[in-house]
């Protein structure tokens, strides 16, 4: 029974409360780094790491933190983990650091992480918070990968840098900024459509 509840915390992030398509949070990194599947996965993993650990710490200290200064406290926790991720990426995957650039430090202001800290971790116990972080992170990564997949295939005819279509003229507009916004708009509309059909 308990395992089931934990699984529910995990799975809600992927479909029912998908951070990007349903709650519509954390859009800036989602659009900027989704030019290729590789970048999207890198960003997803980095954000998931920060999300899980900041949820863990915040839910552990939630009773010690005075209500009035909780936001600055959360920001410090999140920013520390972002710094850790920043240094890890710089040390082990410098290529990814070059690709993601400014968007690694900007994980701090990713609304998903702050949103989960405020809406979930500051009100729940440690274990559910970890699973919530994992689920939201997975949902974020999946959504990001989906956008990246569409953009990479249509924009350059490649997946993970491998050419898949020979007789195909890629529309390079899809890897440029307008393509990101267009893909995002259409995908959110599809998510809305599914929601309306279910009702």
Read off the tokens for 18.
């998908």
Closest distance between another protein and the C-beta of residue 171, in Å? 12
- Count interface residues toward another protein (CB under 8 A): 43
When the beta carbons of 45 and 182 are compared against another protein, the nearer one is 182
Q: Which segments of the chain does DSSP mark as H helices, in order?
A: 2-12, 27-32, 37-61, 70-92, 94-100, 111-116, 126-156, 177-198
> Interface with another protein includes 110 (CB under 8 A)?
yes
Closest distance between another protein and the C-beta of residue 150, in Å? 14
- DSSP run (H or E) holding 158: strand 158-159
Selected from 3, 162, 196, 198, the binder of another protein by CB under 8 A is 196
Read off the tokens for 152.
């990479």
> Interface with another protein includes 46 (CB under 8 A)?
no
When the beta carbons of 28 and 164 are compared against another protein, the nearer one is 28
Q: How far is residue 146's CA from residue 34's CA, in Å, rounded to a whole number?
A: 9
Selected from 6, 12, 15, 27, the binder of another protein by CB under 8 A is 27
> Interface with another protein includes 181 (CB under 8 A)?
yes
DSSP letter for each residue of 96-122: HHHHHGGGTGGGGG-HHHHHHIIIIIT
3-state SS assignment for residue 199 = coil
> Interface with another protein includes 176 (CB under 8 A)?
yes
Selected from 41, 61, 111, 127, the binder of another protein by CB under 8 A is 111
Selected from 82, 100, 136, 150, the binder of another protein by CB under 8 A is 82
With 0-12 CB in 10 A as exposed, 13-18 as middle and 19+ as buried, what is 180?
Answer: buried
Question: Which residues in 132-161 contact another protein (CB under 8 A)?
Answer: none
Tally of CA atoms within 13 A in the half-sphere of 150 that contains its CB: 16
**Residues at the site binding another protein, with contacts judged by CB under 8 A:** 24-25, 27-29, 31-32, 71-72, 75-76, 79-80, 82-83, 86-87, 101-102, 105-106, 108-111, 114, 173, 176-182, 184-186, 188-190, 192-193, 196
């Amino acid at each position: 029974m308990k395992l089931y509840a934990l699984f529910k915390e995990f799975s809600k992030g992927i479909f029912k409360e998908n951070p990007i398509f349903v709650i519509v949070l954390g859009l800036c990194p989602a659009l900027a780094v989704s030019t290729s599947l590789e970048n999207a996965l890198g960003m997803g993993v980095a954000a998931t790491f920060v999300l899980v650990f900041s949820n863990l710490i915040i839910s552990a200290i939630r009773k010690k933190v005075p209500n009035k200064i909780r936001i600055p406290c959360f920001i410090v926790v999140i920013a520390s983990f972002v710094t850790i991720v920043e240094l890890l990426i710089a040390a082990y995957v410098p290529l990814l650091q070059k690709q993601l650039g400014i968007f690694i430090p900007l994980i701090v202001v990713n609304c998903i992480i702050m949103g989960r800290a405020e809406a979930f971790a500051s009100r729940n116990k440690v274990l559910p918070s970890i699973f919530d972080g994992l689920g939201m992170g997975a949902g974020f990564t999946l959504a990001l990968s989906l956008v990246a997949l569409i953009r990479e295939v249509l924009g350059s005819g490649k997946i993970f840098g491998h050419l898949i279509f020979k007789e195909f003229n890629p529309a390079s507009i899809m890897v440029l900024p307008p393509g990101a916004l267009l893909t995002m708009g259409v995908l959110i509309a599809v998510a809305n459509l599914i929601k309306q059909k279910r009702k």
